[in-house]
Copies of this chain bind each other. A is one copy, B any other.
């Protein structure tokens, strides 16, 4: 079994989080910079909204009784809204007030002393959903067989992004505002969001070759800069003690090892 040697960063969200392992995705980049310091656990659930995610989060977080044996979650990143913002009558739709309530509930699950999952030392960052490019999205849905009706609106997703900011303020946790970073990066031009979005909704990775074919590589570089850099900048500003630059490796560098008697010199350290 895996001994408890590294604390963790848990990424909890929908398909945009699940796809974060794809090459150069934000999860893979986090794992790279936090190597030997914190494990990155990707808990993305494609297609989930906050209603369905809450009973899963309750299983993903240890109860207080079990916490002593398990890795500490030093940072929980929560990234929802892309599916909650689906319009009625689609099944993923969650009304905005309920969405905001759910975001606050997830924070309270760790930060309320009354919670069976109380973990006051876990820092939390809420990420705003990316803006929707309805030009790309409607074309993508229309191209399906059979064609699908449009399921998202630019203004609606914008409101859910605002809801995430409101929930963060009300819950006294940090927010990484990817919605605004992308909107500004696109010059506040919806069609220009195509430099960040492959299908108007997702930041998905279409595979290595495609990603390295001319313009697409620019898309990748920009998109990843937005998602990853926005999160890292938020960590640096709000929780600098958790920035990878301020953590040390759990096990020492090879040139710190006592070559004559390695054992005592390679004991686990606090990161």
Contact = CB atoms under 8 A, between A and B. Distances in A.
Given A47-B255, A73-B1, A39 B36 contact: no
Contacts of A46: 253-254
A47 B254 contact: yes
A92 interface: yes
A183 interface: no
Contacts of A253: 46-47
Interface in A202-243: 208-209, 211-212, 217, 220-221, 224
A54 to B, nearest CB: 8
Contacts of A8: 2
B266 A2 contact: no
Given A52-B262, A55-B262, A211-B212, A251 B45 contact: yes
A8 B253 CA distance: 25
A28 interface: yes
A61 B251 CA distance: 14
Interface in A1-35: 1-6, 8, 10, 18, 21-24, 27-29, 31-32, 35
A35 B11 CA distance: 12
A60 B5 contact: yes
A62 interface: yes
Q: Which of A3, A21, A220 is most buried by chain B, counting CB atoms within 10 A of its CB?
A: A3
User: Which range holds the interface residue count of chain A?
Assistant: 35 or more
User: So how many copies of this chain end up in the complex?
Assistant: 2
A44 interface: yes
Contacts of A224: 208
Interface of A: 1-6, 8, 10, 18, 21-24, 27-29, 31-32, 35-36, 39, 41-42, 44-48, 51-52, 54-56, 59-63, 66-67, 69-73, 83, 91-92, 119, 208-209, 211-212, 217, 220-221, 224, 251, 253-255, 257, 259, 262-263, 266-268
Contacts of A54: 262
A70 B257 contact: no
Contacts of A5: 59-60
Contacts of A44: 35-36
Contacts of A91: 259
Contacts of A24: 23-24, 208
Contact of A18 (B18, B36, B217): B36
Contact of A2 (B10, B32, B47): B10
B92 A4 contact: no
Contact of A62 (B2, B41, B47): B2
18 contacts: A1-B119, A2-B62, A2-B72, A3-B62, A6-B41, A21-B28, A23-B24, A23-B29, A23-B32, A31-B31, A35-B44, A39-B39, A46-B253, A47-B253, A48-B254, A48-B257, A56-B251, A209-B221
